Amino acid sequence: MTNNYNKEISAELASRIRKIRHVALDMDGTIYLGNTLFPFTLDFLKSLEEMGIGYSFLTNNPTRSVADYLKKLSGMGIAATEDNMYTTSIAAIDYIKAKYPSARRLFLLGTPSMASQFMAAGFEECTDDPDDVPDVLVGSFDMTLTYSRLCRAAWWASQGIPYIATNPDKVCPTSERTVLVDCGSICKCIEHATGRRPDVTLGKPDPNMITGILNRHGLAPDEIAMTGDRIYTDIAMAHNAGAFGVLVLSGETTLETALAVKADAENKKDPEFFPPDLIVRDIEELGKILQAYR
- pTM, to two decimals: 0.86
Q: What is the pLDDT of residues 215-254, one digit of tens each?
A: 999 999 999 999 999 998 999 999 999 999 999 999 888 9
Q: Is residue 206 part of a domain?
A: no
Q: Is residue 78 part of a domain?
A: no
Q: Is residue 107 part of a domain?
A: yes
How many domains does the chain divide into?
Answer: 1
Q: What is the pLDDT of residues 164-173, one digit of tens each?
A: 999 999 988 7
Q: If DSSP states are collapsed to H, E and C, what string results for the chain? A: CCCCCCCCCCHHHHHHHHCCCEEEEECECCCEECCEECCCHHHHHHHHHHHCCEEEEEECCCCCCHHHHHHHHHHCCCCCCHHHEEEHHHHHHHHHHHHCCCCCEEEECCCHHHHHHHHHCCCEECCCCCCCCCCEEEECCCCCCCHHHHHHHHHHHHCCCCEEECCCCCEECCCCCCCEECHHHHHHHHHHHHCCCCCEECCCCCCHHHHHHHHHHCCCHHHEEEEECCHHHHHHHHHHHCCEEEEECCCCCCHHHHHHHHHHHHCCCCCCCCCCCEEECCHHHHHHHHHHCC
29: left (phi over 0), alpha (psi -120 to 50) or beta: left
CATH of residue 160's domain is: 3.40.50.1000
Q: Is 146 or 272 the better-scoring residue by pLDDT? A: 146
Q: What is the pLDDT of residues 49-64, one digit of tens each?
A: 999 999 999 999 899 9
Mean pLDDT for the chain overall: 93
Q: Is residue 104 part of a domain?
A: yes
What is the pLDDT confidence band of residue 117, given thresholds at 50, 70 and 90? very high
Query: Is a pLDDT exceeding 60 seen at residue 140?
Result: yes
Q: What is the pLDDT of residue 6?
A: 57
Q: Is residue 253 part of a domain?
A: no
Q: Is residue 64 part of a domain?
A: no
C-alpha dist (Å) from residue 117 to 26, 27, 89, 142: 20, 19, 7, 14
Q: Is 270 or 36 the better-scoring residue by pLDDT? A: 36
Region 2-25 average pLDDT: 84
Range of the domain at 188: 90-201
Distance CA(273)–CA(231), nearest Å, equals: 7
Q: What is the pLDDT of residues 62-87, one digit of tens each?
A: 999 999 999 999 999 999 999 999 99
Q: Is residue 140 part of a domain?
A: yes
Q: What is the pLDDT of residue 270?
A: 62
Determine phi and psi for 260, rounding to 5 degrees. Answer: -65, -40
Q: Is residue 7 part of a domain?
A: no
